[in-house]
Every structure is written in C-alpha cells, then in structure tokens.
Amino acid sequence: MIEVQGPEMGRSMLENPLLAMGGLPRFDRIEVAHVVPAIRSLLEELSAEFEALEASVESTWAASVIPLEAIGERLSFSWGIVGHLMGVRNSDELRAAYEEVQAEVVGFTLRMGQSRPIYRALEALKGGEEWDELNSAQRRIVEGLQREGRHSGVALNEPDRERFTEIQRELVELGTDFANHVLDATQAFSLWLREPEEMLGVPGSLRKLSAQAARDAGEAGATADAGPWKIGLDQPSIRPFLEHAERRDLRERAYRAYVSRAGSGEYDNSALIGRILGLRRESARLLDYDSYAELALSSRMAGHVAEVSDFLERLRGASADAAAEDFEALGDFALRASEGEVEDLRHWDIAFWAERLREEEFAYSEEDLRAYFPLPKVLKGLFSLAQRLFGIEIEEADGETSLWHPDVRFFRIRDEKGVPIAAFFLDPYSRPGEKRGGAWMDECVGRSRRLAAPGESMRLPVAYLVCNQASPVDGQPSLMSFQEVTTLFHEFGHGLQHMLTRVDESMAAGIRNIEWDAVELPSQFMENWCYQRETLREISGHVVTGAPLPDELFEKLRAARNFRSGSDMLRQLYFACTDLALHDEFSSDGPEDAFEIQRRIAALTTVLPPLPEDRFLCSFGHIFAGGYAAGYYSYKWAEVLSADAFGAFEEAGLEDSGAVKDMGRRFRESVLALGGSRDPMEIFRDFRGRPPGVEALLRQSGLERS
Ligand code: ZN
C-alpha cells in the first residue's frame, strides 16, 4: 500500500489482491486503488448471497450458521486488511477510500443482524432436535448470533423498529462528532512559552517536542534550548508538562484548560452527552431493558449492574483509605521539599510532586533502564518464557510472506512435536505520520477447520502484534523503556489466546466470541512476568556489556510498581463508577444532569473533588466515542482475573520450574485454548479450581489490609 496507482478499471476483479482469500494478505501487491472496487464488488456479491440465504435458510447448523460464517469470513478478511492498513500505513488517499465505503459496510452488517428469516431459523435450531448434538462452541455461536440480532432490533415491530434504526444511525454520528470535537478542542489550545525561566524543570524530550510544535505553528526559529515552546493538551505534551514544570501558575493554566476541554465554546460536547445518554437509554428501553447498562451487561461476564456495583464498591473500600494516605503523605512531602511554600496541594500540584517523590524514593529513571532492554534480547527472553510456560517453540520466519513495511518481522510457532500451529507479524517501531499511536493485537486470520486451504486439514491462526517503541538509532537496536516491555508482553498475551486456541469453529476460536470484560485476562496475565526475577534476567542484557539487570535495579523496579497504587486504583474507580451511573441512572427528564451525576460519584471516589469548571465528561471518549459505554469497569474486572490466575503460579512456586511448567500447561489448555467456546467463568474455574477472588489483585497492588 505504498503509492496510489491507476484505477483498477479494465482489470478483472479476480486480480484484485484484496479479494484473494486462501492465504495471507498479499501486502506486496495491495494498493490503495484496490480498496473501493474490491469492497464494492464484494458487498454486491455478499448481498446477493445473503438474499439467497434468507430465501433458503433452514433451521439446521449446516444451512444457517455455516453459510453465515462464509459470508462473514469473506467480509472480515478483505475489510480486515483495509482496517489493518488504516492503522499501520495510513495516508490521505487510504482514508478517503476507507470513508468512501465504510457506510456501505456498516449498512450491510446491520442488515445481516436485522434479518428475520435468519433469526427465526436460529430460534428453531435452538429449539430443535439438532441442538443436543451441537458442542459448546457451536451453541455459544448460535446464542451469540441470536443476541446480536435482538440487540440490532430484529424482534421489534413497526414503528419501534424504525425508531430503533434511526437511533442507531444518530448514535454513530454523535459518536463521530464527539470524537472530532475532542480532537479539535485539543488542537485549539496552546500555551506559548518564550522565557527559559518558564520552562524550568521541563525535560529535554518535551523541550524538543514543544519546539517542534512551535516550528510547525510558524515559529521557524524555535529550538529546544532557546524556545519558543508550544505546550498543547495532547498526552505527550500535557502529561510531562504537569509532571515536571516548576512554574506553578503555568501548570494551573494548563490543568484548567485540560479539564474543561470541549466543555464550552465552538467544540462544546456538553449537549451531546445528554443526547447520547438519552438515546442509548431509549434504545435499551425499546429492547426491554431497564437501562443501557443492563443491556450492555447482558452480553458480558458480569451479568447485572448490581454485580458490577458491588465489585467496584469492594475495590473502593480497599483503596479509598490508601489514596487518602497517599494524598496526605504527598502534601507533607511537598511542604518539606518546597521549604514551606506549598501549603495545600491543588489539582495542578499532584502530578508534579508525585514525580518528585518517586524520584526521591526510587532513585532511578526510565532512561537508566532502557540500556538493559534491547528489542532482540527482550524477544529472545519472551520466547523462552513462552517455551517454559506453554511448551511452544517460536522461530524467525522472515521472508516467508510479504510485509507492509520492511521493519516488520514474521514468526512461526510450533508445538512440542515440532508441528506448526500458528504465526504472527510483529511491527515494533513508531512511524509517526502513517501509524496510529498505542499498541494493539489484531487477527490476520483465525483458526478454522472448515476454511482450510484445499489439501490442508486446518487454517492456522495468524496474529498482528503492533507496538510503537523507539526505532533503532546509531547502529544500536531499539532500546525499550520498561513500559514498552510490559506493553509487548501485554499484546503477546492477546496474541497467545488467538494463536494457541484449540477451537475449530472460527466464530468462537481465539479471542472471538469472548465476553468483553474477560478479554484482557491473558494480556494482563503476561504483564506480571515482567516483574518475575528469572524472566527479567532472561529479557534483559545491557546493550554494551550484555549484563542482565542488576538485582538492586530489579528491587527498585518491583517496589515502584505499587507507588501510589491506591490513588491509581481510586482514579480508575472514579471513571468506572461514573460510567456505570450515567448508563444506569441518567434519564433525559430525570432529576440530575450528567454533570451532577459525575459530582455525586466524585464525592465518593476522589480525594480532591473536581474543580467547578471541570468538564472531564466532555472528553471522555472511551464511553462517548469508543466501545467502553457501561464497560469501563472491564479493566479492573479482567485485572482481578489476571492477578488471580498469576496467583496460581505464585502459590505453586515461581522459582520451581516443574511447578511453573505444570501450571503453564494448565493455563494453556484452559484460558488460552478454549477462548470463546465456553463461559469464561467456567473456564476460569477449571483453571483455578475455584471462582476468582479479588485478594490476589489487592495483594499485588499492595492494598491488602490485615
Ligand atoms: Zn489489551
């Protein structure tokens, strides 16, 4: 997908590489110009197939689910490649092509969900004789399809159905507007600093970044040392500024702008929030749920609002006192360190003094650590851990398939007997301009017996692992921060669940069909190993001397893991409780507006109540423009599972290689192998021998109280 070439007209669609299912994507041949014709012709074909299916569908597995799977697989293969390239090889041309066909793809998907003949056939299948012969994966697939249908409004009669569809359409638009407003409001603010004294305390990396921002804004002569500097509200800028800038008045200005972002003026999201919440509630009511939260939770591991509330309350009880103590200790420290100047901590002081306290207590910097984590060494150690835990061998397979960028690596996984079972791409480095920020794992293709190529017994799963770490410079390999290391482990954990699945049905294999609040289990589980001594020895090796991380640094790293953990947890609970209350209690004609609900929750979940002008809801994209509506709690929910799963290894003895091996195989055969084929609670119980408990997370976070 490198440059735009002539349109595809005249060439046969058979040659369009985006439609070439059956192997891995042909990244060497795919061009932007393929996108629109490929997706249009595919949708045309699939629509015809779907209409034929609606006319002929029967209430058997073979005559309903299998054809649906075939249609879904073809769409997800081709559209999946386009989505992947949007993340890793973005360009104006690609974005335009994507936007040109996106509405058509969404429309087709909605039409599939709302099909009554299909829905009736699935109902009859569930009530019929064949049901007893279906295995657990197949049953969960049928039930999942039924639920999708219901949640798309298939069972509604007119005029409710029309109203429901209208609401869905408006919600998609409102979500896009909300996100655009946040982006625009973020861009609209800038704090220009021209005196070196205003930049006191600001580290070199932010000086470079903000001088670059100044040059981009027309100050051609801006330099990191002499300024001027432009501080923005985007994370890479505002975060280090609040942590390091010594000028308290400037931190205050930046902080106030940050928390009132998109809360007034041209890009005001306030009204959108009420509209979105009102429409969500209305659609939930049409589907016969009390609230949007109840609707959302009906397809999650946590079944009801009360269950999630109890869970969050339990964690609040465990972290509120610790957070209050953190605050008090920070106040004492600030008073002492400022020699009496800072008498009471304000919002814009917290991050700044927390960083000073961290420096004093642990006396190491992220920069010190980087030299110990060159990427090749980290990968070698990670693969060796995977071998110890799960008995798999990972080998380099570069050159076996085409790539979207020369820095991308390709690896193959073999089982104990040397049989290939999966493969993955790793795209490690940041490429500003064409690659989305953050890190993620995605499916390239999923495991499936039915979709195997002719002559093969199985289509093997292949994953994309994408990170955004520093590129190699000056002949040295990429030197990773410790956070980049844990991120790689995290994504690898998602990848393992996709690749080590033993489910043959593609619609329930790997990470598919897993309840959304359980998906972060394997990923957060893998992060824990970064703090285990043996693993850390294996993944670290000084770039010059080759020496592993010294014990002294290891101990500091481990101790720093729980620095202000009560405050961190309470903050997550503030977001999670607010999200849940908004989606359970808000109503357009109710007694409280969204901001009043936020303040009521804040009184219970913050040590320092929000400022009067705080409009953090106006930039809470997770729940208003992302997929986290009534789902923010999932982070903590899955962390309970992952900490408890890791607890099983701790109990068995982390230094006992035999015990670790046995437990690793057990984890592989349950959590990693069964994925979406069974209820996640049952799977967890199989692994742990009991239901999950929060104790392991509290212990791991240092919040256990005697
Ligand atoms: Zn994740």
Question: Which residues are 445's β-sheet partners?
Answer: 462
Average pLDDT over residues 344-373: 89
H or E stretch including 366? helix 366-370
Bridge-based pairing state of the strands 462-469 and 420-429: parallel
Tokens at residue 434, please? Answer: 């064409």
CB-based contacts of 487, cutoff 8 Å, min separation 6: 439, 467, 469
Does the structure show a pLDDT above 70 at 414? Answer: yes
Q: How far is CA 683 from CA 84, 491, 506, 514, 641, in A?
A: 30, 21, 19, 11, 11
Output the DSSP codes for 51-62. HHHHHH--SSHH
Separation of 519 CA from ligand 1 center, angstroms? Answer: 7
User: Looking at residue 660, what is its pLDDT?
Assistant: 95
For residue 193, the number of C-alpha atoms closer than 13 Å in the C-beta half-sphere is 29
- Taking the centre of ligand 1 as the mean of its atom positions, its distance from the CA of residue 521, in whole angstroms, is 8
Whether 368 has a pLDDT exceeding 80, the answer reads: no
Which position has the higher pLDDT, 103 or 255?
255
Question: What is the arithmetic mean of pLDDT over 300-304?
Answer: 93
For residue 490, the CA-to-ligand 1 centroid distance in Å is: 6
Q: What percent of the chain has pLDDT over 90?
A: 78
How remote is the CA of residue 523 from the centroid of ligand 1, in Å?
A: 6
pLDDT grade, residue 347 (50/70/90)? very high
Could you tell me the distance, in angstroms and rounded to a whole number, from the CA of residue 564 to the centre of ligand 1?
23
pLDDT, tens digit, 9 for 90 and up, residues 584-617: 999 999 999 999 999 999 999 999 999 999 999 9
> 656-689 burial string, b = 16+ CB within 10 Å, else e?
eeeebbebbebbbebbbbbbbbbebbebbeebbe
Tell me the mean pLDDT in the region 165-186.
Answer: 86
Say what the pTM is: 0.89
pLDDT tops 50 at residue 365: yes
The answer to whether 278 and 370 are in contact (CB under 8 A) is no
Place of tokens 């109503």: 587
Contacts of 115 (CB under 8 A, 6+ apart): 50, 54, 149, 154
- Give the environment of ion ligand 1: residues with CB less than 5 A: 523
Find the 441 Cα to ligand 1 centroid distance in Å: 8
Residue 319: count other Cβ atoms within 10 Å of its Cβ: 24
User: What is residue 705's predicted lDDT score, i.e. its pLDDT?
Assistant: 67
- Of the residues 491, 505, 527, 538, only one is catalytic, namely 491
Catalytic residue status for 162: no
Is the pLDDT score of 3 beyond 80? no
Give 495 Cα–ligand 1 centroid separation in angstroms: 10
Split at pLDDT 50, 70, 90, the class of 165 is confident
10 Å CB burial of residue 74 (0-12, 13-18, 19+) is: middle
Mean per-residue pLDDT of the chain: 92
pLDDT of amino acid 2: 37
